[in-house]
Amino acid sequence: MSVPQRLPIVDSDDGTWGDIIRQYLKKEHYDDDTDNPANGGHQKVTIRPGTAAAGTAPLKFSSGTLLTAPETGAVEFNTDSLYFTITTGSTRKKVALYDDGAGATGDLYYRDSGGNFVRLPTGSNGQFLKTTSGLPTWGNLNGSFVTSTKTSNYTISSGDTVVFADASSANVTISLPAAAGLPGYRFYVKRVDGAAHTVTVASGDTIDGMASFTLDQQYTAVGLVSNGSAWYIL
C-alpha cells in the first residue's frame, strides 16, 4: 500500500499517521535516518505556481533591515533593492532591476549613479554609441551624417551632424549646445537660402573667441568642434 502524499487526518489515519507525515516531510526535507544535525533542512524547494488573485504570488519578500555583516548565500530585500551575498569574499551584491513597461526592441540599459538600470532607447540608423558627461548616448561619426533643415531658431543637439539653415522667411539663429558636455563633437551649419534675412550661429560659450557670427552668403558653411570648454571653427 502506497503512503498518501498528504498530512495525516485526525481520527482517520490511526496506525499509519506516522508513515504519512514522514513521507510528507521527506518529500522536501533532508533526512538520512540518523541523529544528524543536518536533518530537517530543506533538500529542495518546489514552489507551486501562483494565480492572478491578490496574495497568491509564489514567492514574496517583506522589506527588512540588511544584516550588519553580509552572510554567504543570504537573500535580502530592503525597500526597493534585492541583494544576494556571494561566496567569494562574502560580498553582498545588489540585483539590478529595471522597469520594462516602456521597453522596445534594440533598447540598451546602463547603470545610473544610484545603481539602477536606466533604459537607453535604440538610436537611429547610422548612429554610434558615445559617452556624454559620463553617460552613454547615441551620436554620429565621420561618414554618418544626420541632416535637418531649420527655418526658425534652433539649438543643436548631440544627435545632429549637419544643419541646413533656411532664412527665406525670417531671421534664423542656430545655437550650439554647451561645449563642456560635448568634447570632440563636430557640427556643420550651412546656409541654403539667398534671402536678405540673417543666419546667425551663436554659443553660450565662445566660437573662436566670439559669441556669434553670421553666414551672409547663400551656400556658405562652417564646421565647428568643441574642446570641452569652447567652440572652434574648422
CA–CA separation, 44 and 50 (whole Å) = 19
**Structural contact between residues 174 and 189, judged by C-beta atoms closer than 8 angstroms:** yes
* pTM score, whole prediction: 0.47
The per-residue pLDDT for range 103-133, each reduced to its tens digit, is: 888 899 898 887 778 889 988 766 788 887 7
**Can you tell me which residue has the cell 565621420?**
142
CA–CA separation, 110 and 104 (whole Å) = 15
The per-residue pLDDT for range 181-211, each reduced to its tens digit, is: 888 889 999 999 999 999 999 999 999 999 9
Res 64 pLDDT > 90: yes
The pLDDT score that the predictor gives to residue 76 is: 96
Res 46 pLDDT > 80: yes
Pick from 81-85, 99-103, 104-108: least confident: 99-103
Q: How confident is the model at residue 168 (pLDDT cuts 50, 70, 90)?
A: very high
Return the CATH fold of 132-233.
Answer: Jelly Rolls (2.60.120)
Average pLDDT, rounded, for the chain: 89
Structural domain spans, the chain: 1-50, 63-95, 100-125, 132-233
CA–CA separation, 96 and 135 (whole Å) = 18
Q: Considering only CA atoms, which of 195, 196, 154 is closest in space to residue 175?
A: 154
